[in-house]
Amino acid sequence: MAAPTENPVAGVCERKTQSNLQISENMTDEGRSVRVEKNESHLANTFQMCTDFIDEHIRLFRTSISVTAAIGLLVIARSIRVYQRFRRVSDIPEEFISKNMKLYGRFVALRKEPVHVIVQHTPIVNFEWRQKRESDSGSGLPVHLAGLELQEGSLEYLQDRLGTQPSLRFHMLCVNEANGLDCIVDLVKWKLPFRRTSLNEELLRQGLAKVSPLGGLRDHKLQTRLTQRLLAAELRAEKKSRGVWTREREPTKLDVARAGLVKVRDGLTSGVAVLVKVVTLPWRGLSNLRDFLRRKSDGES
């Protein structure tokens, strides 16, 4: 049988088709590269135009940034009331109390029935002329020492303690029934956090108060932490028998031994005194007899 012969026309057509496909692929790649180059050049031109515009108006941009920052600072200062003095509990925003924020102030007076420490609030930004104009020795925020049941002698202690160190930081917890602020009060120096003493804990350590429940707090973690600190201070006063915790303790073995030693010492002291009298009795008798004979001889002469 004779082998089939290839059609020369079909081979030529196939080769032409392949070459056309290759040419179209090359054109597609060249088109893509051209479009990428155009995009890159367009981005570079845009960036260069922006840079040139900023360089030409650099002073305007600096001024606008400064003005924007100043406006932002003013808005923040107004929102947190950095320059406002709170003279009444109603002046304090509810957000401040609900977030248990801390404020600074100075001790003014001590009010009884119910016991409140009158504090004059000191704003963060304090103007001297404004302080002189608004100062009023009889007005202030009524601050109640939270978590305490004051005992006898506590008012005198508070008056003496706050009179010598009037700068305070009060941690607001809630508003009580007497329209006062339940607070944890700290005695501070120069508004530094490590130079403070908790007045609530100090009264408990001196035995001048007992721990009472902290009510009105929404933050249970804060309530637990503060209660633990107050109970630790009260336990310290109880162990050392201070203030209201002063009581007759059961004698320990050491106390019994000390009492026995005191009795032995007193017995030895009295025994030695008696022995000295007995030993010196003859000498005292001879001395008395000599004095008697001398007086008698002087009388006969």
Contact 80, 93 (CB under 8 A): no
pLDDT in tens, 1-20: 444 544 554 554 555 556 55
pLDDT in tens, 158-212: 999 998 888 899 999 999 988 899 999 999 876 555 567 899 999 999 999 999 9
Tokens standing for residue 257: 């031994």
* Nearest-angstrom CA–CA distance, 152 and 146: 17
Residue 30, pLDDT score: 54
25 burial (CB, 10 Å; 0-12 / 13-18 / 19+) is: exposed
What stretch of H or E contains 112?
none
Residue 202, pLDDT score: 94
Give the domains, in start order, of the chain with CATH numbers.
Answer: 89-244 (2.40.50.90)
Burial 140-166 (b: 16+ CB within 10 A, else e): bbbbbbbbbebbeebeebbeebbeeee
- 152 phi, psi to nearest 5 deg: -65, 135
Q: Which residues pair with 170 in a beta bridge?
A: 103, 185
Whether pLDDT at 94 is above 70: yes
Q: Which residues pair with 89 in a beta bridge?
A: none
- 25 phi, psi to nearest 5 deg: -65, -40
pLDDT in tens, 267-294: 888 888 888 777 777 777 777 777 777 7
Residue with more model confidence, 190 or 157:
157
Q: Which residues pair with 107 in a beta bridge?
A: 119
Tokens standing for residue 35: 């479009």
